[in-house]
Amino acid sequence: MTATTNLTHAECAERARTITVRDQRVELDLRSATDPGADTFSVVSQIRFAASGPETWVDLIAERVVSVTLNGEPVPTGEYDGARVLLTGLSADNEVRIEADCSYSRSGEGLHRFTDPQDGNTYLYSHCEPTDARRYYPVFEQPDLKAETTFVVTAPRDWVILSGQAEVARTEDDGHERDEQSASATVTFAPTPPLSSYLTAIAAGPYHRVDGTWSVQRADGSSQEVALGVLCRASMVPHLDAEEVLTLTRQGLDFFDAHFDYPYPWGKYDQIFVPEYNIGAMENPGLVTFTEQYLHRGRATRGQRQALANTLMHEMAHMWFGDLVTMRWWDGLWLKESFADLMGYHVSAAATEYTDSWTRFAMDRKQFAYRQDQLPTTHPIVAVIDDMEAARQNFDGITYAKGAAVLKQLMAYVGEEAFFAGSRDYFARHAFGNTEVRDLTDCLEAASGRDLTSWSRVWLEMAGISLLTPEVDRADDGTISRLVIRQDARDPLAPRLPQASGVQGRSPVPDPAPQSRPVAGGDATVDRPHRLVVGCYRLEGERLTRAAAYELDVTGAETEVSEAIGQPADLVLVNDDDLTYASVRLDERSTRVALAHVSSIVEPLSRGLVWSTLWNALRDAVLPVGDYVAGALGQLPLEPDAALLASGLTNLHAAIETFAPVASRATWQAEQVRVLRTALDAAEAGSDRQIVWARALVQATASCADGVEPVRDLLRDCGPEGLEVHQDLRWAALAALAAQDALADEELVDELRRDDTMRGRTAGLRVRAARPSAAAKAVAWEAMTTDTSLTNDHLRALVAGFVEPSGGAVTREYAERYYDSITRWWSDRTMVMASILATGLFPRGDLADGQDAASHPALAAAQGWLADYEDAPRALRRIVIEQADHLARALRVQAAS
């Protein structure tokens, strides 16, 4: 039989119609985990379910199926095709028992196994979203088949053994008949409340644990106490600030308890930091997993700590949005992710010390949405998801950042009080159930009194970005004589075109024509209502001051702002305060003033919005790259906020490396390094800004040899006073030197000896691959494309080193091999690992003098592959389409500049 690892919406909807899951018991024997020669573990899954049809299947990706019994009768194991166990002859009530051997994961999918090189300890953790529970136990793998699930886990006795629910029983085997190392414990956990399989979780290993509690005494006389835990592997304990995590956790639970009016429903609340994690965090109720990247080897900046706070609140919001009430199918992914993304920033700003979280959202997070919404594969927030491969790729900027921005607009549209009242009604109506978009809008309509049908249609069910352009007429004294906001909003998916990615999408071949606006394609005009603020700024000496602000509704093709007549107008900022989601332009005078004075604006949020607006204008080939670079080089040294500075420096680097014409690039690279060196020397000792300048200098050195000596000074501890050159910064510096072919072999060997840790070994792979020699690139290519023992993080490190810009000329010869290989990668690797390769190794290039962007050979190769492989998996085609569109945009901007 042929394995069918993909799952379609149609077949899963039919399965949900014909079966109802009662409960499930999962027994895992993980005693083999510490044996590096053991690749599998034993699992027994027993599921009780009702059926109204004659047959169904259980999802399972395993090394082998040992036995299957259905209602006490054996089922031939030949009914397993590598992804599904077929069950026929069903009764009204059924019990299936499946025993299998599943594989430990190296890719972060299913049950991941990691052995720490520092102390030899082995750690396990699970990751299931969206359909990887089936990689470590047999299950009905779809969100609307919730089950009460009991985990029973056998593992080494001295390990911490965890699941999402509390431990209710424990037995121990001292192993004396075999050997002391085989001593084990079997832990039974309480059954979960009804829960989707992608939210189940276990972890096991010698994790370090810090305990705490959260408690509340409510006005109605009720009370609650929740046990808290913060965990990480033993060698990361020096980098764990458990007290900060516990403080944030209590602040978040206080907020959600007060505003959601539904007591935390999952018993305990453990949070565990794990290695080699594919995403930022996962909302497994009672056992939230976080990437170890949040544990910093050195002093964390305020911006880094704020990022953890936002993620922590995001995952906590999921305890209600997503875990308590779950989307019926993955086309409702926004019902959890958009809300959680919104709450991550909202609760951080409202309940923690990070009151400026919305500034980071405006400057950074919304760029994730803008980039995604301009791609040919853009889709509505409420997307059409035909199968699981498409679902995996919709964990994207539309579902997260655009969804959050649109919900922020909804909160302004209906009012914050009504927004939370509707949310409370939603939880009360649908607790432990599955929902669709109308279930939520019904609750919000009831709370606000507003009809959200048309709002939902234009904001949730249509794709694309509204472009808001101010037309400003000024009197002789510089005040406004007329201000009109023009809206150009189109649905890029009308007329509908053939599908390329499993979601509604535009043409599968990127349009090489220049775009001066963020939306291209369909002709259907969309009238989105925007509740926003227009800020009018006066230039007083060298300082921009907001002289007036007007909150209004912008609808239709144009909206006149008559209240602004007579106000100073050196800079007019549409969507000041960042209430809506739109691409915003500055008029010509405002652009000139912003480039020269943006750092003088007092309010950080407004500064972030101006920077974001300038960056979007560059990406849309409206603002010349040279103007942006000159403005950034002049204004960023004056930016007082370290987090905004870091974002601005990241964009400056991308402007030079990706969008600048080749003829100008070397000059700007050298000027960038000069400014970075000067600013680093001038930064306050021990400050966040000092750290940010140092990181930027290291990054710039990878493509500019002028930075080699100052970076060597950092490694010799001869840098500015007060700068902590911690181990992770050292590795970044070594990678930059390697990219410049300025690192001796013995230096790398010494550093690996100095830092023989997981992060050290992973960083070492990147350094080796960063060398610009043909030999280094050949070794890296061979490892990436043939060594299936590489972990997910090791593969990412090799890819990052391989594509370092200084090695671009050497790597161009691999373009043909890339297109010859990607379908094989997709069929032979898991989707995570194949995506790392297909995305990271996509062949790029720059525009040469006199060359036509539309006929660039790298773009032509991508278009040729898409034409030749129309039957390739849609998810793979989506990657190539998106990467080709990123390239086409870069070439257009280079040509325009």
Active site members: 315
501 in Cβ contact with 881 (< 8 Å): yes
Q: For residue 84, give the nearest of 20, 29, 140 by alpha carbon.
A: 140
Provide the H-helix boundaries in 598-641.
604-619, 625-635
Q: Please, which residues bridge with residue 473 across strands?
A: 482
* Alpha helices for 298-363 (secondary structure H): 302-318, 334-351, 357-360
Pick from 654, 722, 713, 661: nearest CA to 687:
722
User: CA distances (Å), 875 to each of 330, 688, 756, in order?
Assistant: 15, 40, 37
Q: In the structure encoding, which two tokens stand for residue 565, read together?
A: 């007549």
Which residue spans within 514-652 are E strands per DSSP? Answer: 524-525, 530-540, 543-554, 558-560, 571-576, 583-584
Q: Is 752 exposed, middle or buried (0-12, 13-18, 19+ CB in 10 A)?
A: middle
8 Å CB contact between 859 and 482: no
**Which token pair is 588?**
């010509």
Place of tokens 């230039």: 539
Beta carbons of 694 and 714 less than 8 angstroms apart:
yes
Whether the CB-CB separation of 861 and 819 falls below 8 Å is answered with yes
Whether a cis peptide bond, with omega within 30° of 0, leads into 130 is yes
Nearest to 705 by CA among 735, 668, 664, 740: 740
Task: Compute the distance between CA of residue 700 and CA of residue 711 in angstroms, rounded to an integer.
Answer: 10
* Number of residues that make up the chain: 897
Radius of gyration of the chain (CA): 28
Q: To which H or E segment does residue 528 belong?
A: none
Q: Is the peptide bond before 495 cis (omega within 30 degrees of 0)?
A: yes
CA dist 491 and 180 (Å) reads 66
How is residue 467 written in tokens?
A: 């472009």
Q: Tokens 């060997």 map to which residue? A: 749
Q: In three state form, how does the secondary structure of 824-881 look?
A: HHHHHCCHHHHHHHHHHCCCCCCCCCCCCHHHCHHHHHHHHHHHHCCCCCHHHHHHHH
107: three-class secondary structure by DSSP: coil
CB 816 within 8 A of CB 858: no
Nearest Cα to Cα of residue 232 among 188, 301, 278, 296? 296
Q: How far apart are CA 632 and CA 645, in angstroms?
A: 10
DSSP at 364: I
561: DSSP letter: -
Cβ neighbour number for residue 664 with a 10 Å cutoff? 15
Task: Report how many helices (DSSP H) and strands (DSSP E) the chain contains, helices first.
Answer: 28, 30
The rounded distance, in Å, linking the Cα atoms of 837 and 834 is 5
Contact 776, 768 (CB under 8 A): yes
Say how many CA atoms lie within 13 Å of 637 toward its Cβ: 17
Instruction: Show Cβ contacts of residue 631 under 8 Å, excluding neighbours closer than 6 positions.
Output: 594, 595, 596, 598, 614
Q: Token pair for residue 606?
A: 């407004």
CA distance 483 to 590: 13
